[in-house]
Structure 1
Amino acid sequence: MYAFNSLPKSVVWWLPHLAIIQFAFGQISKLDSIGQQIKTTPNDTVLINLYYQYGEELANKYPDSALWYYNLAKKHSIATKYDRGRAAYASHAIEILNAQGKFKEALALCKEALAIYQTIGSKKDIAVTLINIGSEWHYLSDFQLATDNYLMALKIAEEMEDIRLQRIINNNLASIFINLKEFKKGKTYAIKSLELAHILKNDYAISSSMFNIATAELYLKDYDNALKHYSQIIQIGERTDDYILILDGWLGTADVYNARHNYGEALNYYGKVISLSKEKDAPEYEMYAYMGLSDLYKNTGQNDECEASILSGITLAEKLGTKYELKDLYLKASEMAEKAQRYMDALEYRKKYETLNDSVVGEKSKLNISLLEAKFESEKKETMISNLENNKKIQELSISQKNSLNYLLFGIIMVILLTSYISYRNYRHKQKLQTNRINELETEKQLAATAAVLKGEEQERTRLAKDLHDGLGGMLSGIKYSFESIKGNMIMTTDNQQVFERSMDMLDSSIKEMRRVAHNMMPESLLKFGLDTALKDFCNHINKTGAVQIDYLSLGLANASINQTVAITIYRIVQELINNTLKHAKAETVIVQITKTEHQLTITVEDDGEGFDTLILKKSQGMGWTNILHRVEFLKGNLNVDSEYSKGTSVHIEFNV
Structure 2
Amino acid sequence: MKQRYFLPEGSILDGNPTLRPIRPRRSGLEILEFAILASRPNGKFQFLTACFLMLAVFFSPLVATASDITQQLHRPLNNTSLRESRDRADSLLRIGEQQQITGYADKTIDSCLEALEIYHALGDYKAQGMTYDLLAKAYIQLNRFQEGEDALRRRLAIARDTKDFQAQIFALNNISTVLLQKGEFTPAGKTVEEALTIAQNIQNSAGEGLSLSNLGLVNARLGNYNKAIKLYETALSFRRQVGDILGETNTLNNLGDAYLAMGNYPDTIGTYGAALRIAKTTGDRTNYLRAIDGLVTAHSSVGRYERAFDLLEQRLVTAKELQNQREEFKSFMTYANLYEQLNNYLTARHFYERALVLAKALQDSKQEVFLVDKLIKLPKR
TM-score by length of structure 2 reads 0.69
The 3 A distance-change label for structure 1 pair 272 and 117 is closer
The 3 A distance-change label for structure 1 pair 359 and 295 is farther
1:70-89, Cα deviation, whole Å (9 max, x unpaired): xxxxxxx9999611121122
1:288–1:313 CA contact under 8 A, matched in 2: no
State the Cα distance separating 1:97 from its structure 2 match: 3.1
Distance between the aligned counterparts of 1:149 and 1:285, measured in 2? 25
State the Cα distance separating 1:257 from its structure 2 match: 1.4
Alignment of 1:189-200 (within 5 A): 189-200=191-202
Whether 1:369 aligns to 2:375 is yes
Corresponding residue number in structure 2 for 1:327: 329
Corresponding residue number in structure 1 for 2:120: 118
Distance between the aligned counterparts of 2:346 and 2:262, measured in 1? 35
2:255 is aligned, of 249, 253, 256, to 253
Corresponding residue number in structure 2 for 1:317: 319
1:394-424, Cα deviation, whole Å (9 max, x unpaired): xxxxxxxxxxxxxxxxxxxxxxxxxxxxxxx
Task: Point out where structure 1 has 5 or more consecutive residues left out of the alignment.
Answer: 1-44, 46-76, 380-657
Corresponding residue number in structure 2 for 1:472: none
| Rg larger for | 1
1:284–1:320 CA contact under 8 A, matched in 2: no
Alignment of 1:279-428 (within 5 A): 279-354=281-356, 355-356=358-359, 358=364, 360-361=366-367, 363-372=369-378, 375-376=379-380, 379=381
Distance between the aligned counterparts of 2:292 and 2:157, measured in 1? 41
2:144 is aligned, of 137, 142, 148, to 142
1:92 is aligned, of 87, 91, 94, to 94
Q: Percent identity?
A: 20
Corresponding residue number in structure 1 for 2:246: 244
**The residue matched to 1:301 in structure 2 has which SS?**
coil
1:107-153, Cα deviation, whole Å (9 max, x unpaired): 11111111112222234443443333222211211011112222333
State the Cα distance separating 1:160 from its structure 2 match: 4.1
State the Cα distance separating 1:104 from its structure 2 match: 1.8
> Looking at both structures, which has the greater relative contact order when contacts are Cα pairs under 8 Å and sequence separation is at least 6?
2
1:518-577, Cα deviation, whole Å (9 max, x unpaired): xxxxxxxxxxxxxxxxxxxxxxxxxxxxxxxxxxxxxxxxxxxxxxxxxxxxxxxxxxxx
**The residue matched to 2:169 in structure 1 has which SS?**
helix
**The residue matched to 2:366 in structure 1 has which SS?**
coil
Task: Point out where structure 2 has 5 or more consecutive residues left out of the alignment.
Answer: 1-15, 17-78
Corresponding residue number in structure 1 for 2:7: none
Distance between the aligned counterparts of 2:100 and 2:211, measured in 1? 21
1:152 is aligned, of 122, 134, 154, to 154
2:292–2:311 CA contact under 8 A, matched in 1: yes
Corresponding residue number in structure 2 for 1:646: none
Distance between the aligned counterparts of 1:169 and 1:242, measured in 2? 18
How many correspondences in the alignment?
300
The 3 A distance-change label for structure 1 pair 367 and 130 is same
1:290–1:313 CA contact under 8 A, matched in 2: yes
1:186–1:216 CA contact under 8 A, matched in 2: yes
The 3 A distance-change label for structure 1 pair 359 and 294 is farther
The 3 A distance-change label for structure 1 pair 277 and 119 is closer
2:336–2:348 CA contact under 8 A, matched in 1: yes
The 3 A distance-change label for structure 1 pair 79 and 104 is farther
1:344-387, Cα deviation, whole Å (9 max, x unpaired): 32123223333247261554442223334xx33xx3xxxxxxxx
Corresponding residue number in structure 1 for 2:220: 218
1:137–1:145 CA contact under 8 A, matched in 2: yes
Distance between the aligned counterparts of 1:227 and 1:325, measured in 2? 28
Distance between the aligned counterparts of 2:130 and 2:286, measured in 1? 28
TM-score by length of structure 1 reads 0.42
Greater share of residues in strand: 1
Distance between the aligned counterparts of 1:245 and 1:170, measured in 2? 16
